Amino acid sequence: MSLNRDELIKAVSEQMPPQRWKHTEGVMQTAVVLAERFGADPVKADLAAILHDVAKYWPVKEMEKIIRENNLNQDLLLHDKQLWHSEVGAFVAEQEYKVTDPEVLSAIKWHTSGRVGMSLLDKVVCLADYMEPGRDFPGVDRIRELAEHSLEEALLAGFDGTITHLVSQRKIIYPLTIFTRNDLIEQIKLMDKSNTHKIGG
């Protein structure tokens, strides 16, 4: 049986501590604003935001089991556990909450690592996760400023911040995070070029 929005919110919020649910509400609000700003579907952005961290507080053993037994991305098990909740979250959204929209499932699945060739909705949800009003880390205001005009520039600043932070902590970086960051640079370069062509006639 699939739940209505209020029932879904109740079910998801019960799986996390109050401050994490508050973060999720911030992501919902910001994802809708960004969707409207950049031309993504706000209803899909809202749904992906509600579910994006559904598995964040699940026991690590349970996430590991789900990844193993359902043939999800096994490579994640060799990397930081923080990366697991997005993969598991997308699986749970589909299996338990009967989300069928592949765009919504994709935005949940890739919200932590990003991916090469992120869709508009992937970008909106990932960026909302970085800059929702409750976020407070060095550089977040710069991300918010960039997000006024460029989804890609803002997201690049977000990933650069994550990578820099991981490096400073001597952490292993999931390679896809680097590929995502490089891909955003390529996308921005291409957009700059086409803008130049437009201006130059």
Assess 132 for contact with Fe ion (CB under 5 A).
no
| Counts of helices then strands in the chain (DSSP H, E) | 10, 0
Give the one residue of 72, 162, 183, 184 binding ligand DGI; rule: CB under 6 A.
162
DSSP 70: T
Does residue 40 sit in helix, strand or coil?
coil
3-state secondary structure of 104: helix
Q: Write down the least CB distance from residue 52 to Fe ion, Å.
A: 5
> Could you give the angle at the alpha carbon of 112 between the alpha carbons of 185 and 29, nearest 5°?
95
From the CB of 182, what's the least distance to ligand DGI, in Å? Answer: 13
Within 41-70, the residues that bind Fe ion by CB under 5 A are 53
- Please give the backbone phi and psi of residue 103, each rounded to the nearest 5 degrees, phi first: -70, -40
Q: With CB under 6 A as the contact rule, which of the stretches 1-9, 33-41, 75-83, 186-194 interacts with ligand DGI?
A: 75-83
Told to check if 183 binds Fe ion by CB under 5 A, we report no
Query: What is the binding site for ligand DGI (CB under 6 A)?
Result: 53, 56, 80, 82-83, 86, 111-113, 129, 162, 166, 171, 173-174, 177
